[in-house]
Amino acid sequence: MLDTERVHAEWDGSWLVASDPLLRSAELAIAVDEAFSEAGVGNPIARDGWAPEQFMLALVTSCDAIHLAEYRLQGHRRVITL
């Protein structure tokens, strides 16, 4: 949930699909990280683009609550509900 709105994201290892509010929130989080880095009070980030894992981390940290997480491990679908 993000500001009481249901959002979703999915990354299959190649492609990232996410709802617009979640993408906007992650883009804002990335911009804030870059500003802190440029000011010398944050960790520097890769300027040549974000790896999908880094972008997914920004998406997850943008959420107010996560109610369901799904992933694949060794070819098996796993689900975590909170």
Domain extent listing, the chain: 9-81
Q: How long, in residues, is the chain?
A: 82
Q: Which residues contact 60 (CB under 8 A, 6 or more apart)?
A: 66
Q: Which residues contact 79 (CB under 8 A, 6 or more apart)?
A: 68, 69, 70
Its pTM stands at 0.64
Across the chain, mean pLDDT equals 79
pLDDT, tens only, 12-21: 777 888 889 9
